[in-house]
Amino acid sequence: MPGDATRVTTRTLSEMKRGGRRIVALTAYDALFGRLVDEGGVDIILVGDSVNTVLCGQSTTLSATLEQMIYHTRIVRAGVERALLVIDLPFLTYQVSVEDAKRNAGRALQVTGAEAVKLEGGAPIVPTVHALVEIGIPVMGHLGFTPQSVHALGGARVQGREAGAAERLVRDAHALADAGVFALVLELVPAPLAERVTAEVPIPTIGIGSGPGCDGQVLVLHDMLGLNERFKPKFLKRYANLADEVRAAVRAFADDVREGHYPDAEHSFRA
């Protein structure tokens, strides 16, 4: 709840699933939004490699770097007191070898103060997940549409519509849970399939474009606030239209400056 000073941990999320309490997650990329989102009462703040598309103007997340993720997570940490803070490990920081994954995940937590890392993928990364969990690094999984595989998947498409693909996703979910992930993001998965996975695995599922049957939901903050107007997927609900407000405020400021109304006496210092 907003104002609750109790820190959210991976154990908290497990208790929430068992108790039937919905989990709320959002992204953040800086200290100011980190503080506002935290004070809003979310349970998980994800510093996603989506920063590469949302703030850096890139077409995919693939060029995000570990240093970039560390920088943004460190500054988000400065604003967060309650929510569980999770950092995305970017492309090629955990796929090459288990030793690379250990080194990069460990450094990410050590330097940023985040409490967990998020990895994308199913069966191929299960040994990596197991190795990270074994040395005390909490891991969040991610199945369905995995943005780091956007080219292999042929774009941002719903995954698991065919029977074989659905069964593979279910197997991957069980394998990741068995390997020790504490939660699982399900992105662009048909709602009935996401509901099935949620019922079958003992860990919380966090949906994005995967229907109401997950244990929780996540959105990208700038999408949800209506700042990222060009992104209009079916699953997105905008809770504000801040792009319009920003433009209006900038225009009002520009008008005041050009007409000599700002700064006035109220906003000036006297000798």
Q: Are residues 166 and 254 in the same domain?
A: no
pLDDT at 56 exceeding the cut of 60: yes
Give the model's confidence band at 58: pLDDT under 50 very low, under 70 low, under 90 confident, else very high. very high
Residue 60 sits in the same domain as residue 184:
yes
Q: What value does the mean pLDDT of the chain take? A: 97
Q: Does the pLDDT value for residue 3 go beyond 90? A: no
Please give the residue range of the domain that contains residue 250. 241-271
Catalytic residue (choose from 67, 115, 134, 187): 187
**Residue 20 domain flag:** yes
Q: Which amino acid is present at 226?
A: G
* Assigned domain for 257 exists: yes
- pTM (predicted TM-score): 0.96
**Cβ atoms 31, 42 nearer than 8 A:** no
According to the model, what pLDDT value does residue 189 have? 98
Mean pLDDT over 38-54 rounds to 98
Give start and end residues of each alpha helix (H) in 144-241.
150-153, 163-179, 191-200, 221-224
Q: 131-134 contacts: CB < 8 A, separation 24 or more?
A: 131/98, 131/101, 131/102, 132/101, 132/102, 132/105, 133/179, 133/180, 133/181, 134/180
- What is the pLDDT at residue 5? 57
Residues 133 and 256 in one domain: no
How far apart are the C-alpha atoms of 141 and 137, rounded to whole Å?
13
Tell the residue number behind the tokens 């994800």, with chain if given: 46
Is the confidence at residue 2, as pLDDT, over 90?
A: no
Given this model, what pLDDT does residue 55 score?
A: 97
The answer to whether 115 touches 84, Cβ cutoff 8 Å, is yes
How many structural domains compose the chain? 2
What CATH number should be reported for the domain holding residue 126? 3.20.20.60
DSSP one-letter code for 90: P
Does residue 268 share a domain with residue 229? no
Q: Are 249 and 133 contained in the same domain?
A: no
In this model, does residue 224 exceed pLDDT 60?
Answer: yes
Clarify whether residues 102 and 143 are in a common domain. Answer: yes
Q: Per-residue pLDDT for 27 more than 60?
A: yes
Residue 1 confidence (pLDDT) above 50: no
Are 246 and 168 members of one domain? Answer: no
For position 271, what pLDDT does the model report? 86
Active site residue 187: yes
Tell me whether residue 74 is in a domain.
yes
Asked if 54 contacts 226 with a C-beta cutoff of 8 angstroms, the reply is no
> Are 210 and 265 found together in one domain?
no
142, part of any domain: yes
> How far is CA 227 from each of CA 27, 32, 40, 238, 248, rounded to the nearest angstrom?
13, 15, 18, 9, 13
pLDDT grade, residue 169 (50/70/90)?
Answer: very high
Residue that has been written with the tokens 């108790």 in this structure: 19
pLDDT band with cut points at 50, 70 and 90 for residue 185: very high
Percent of the chain scoring above 90 in pLDDT: 97
**E-assigned strands of 84-215?**
84-88, 116-118, 139-144, 183-187, 205-208
Q: Is residue 226 part of a domain?
A: yes
- The answer to whether residue 265 scores a pLDDT higher than 50 is yes
Q: d(Cα 234, Cα 237) in Å, to the nearest integer?
A: 8
pLDDT in tens, 118-151: 999 999 999 999 999 999 999 999 999 999 999 9
pLDDT at 79 over 50: yes
Q: Does 86 share its domain with 134?
A: yes
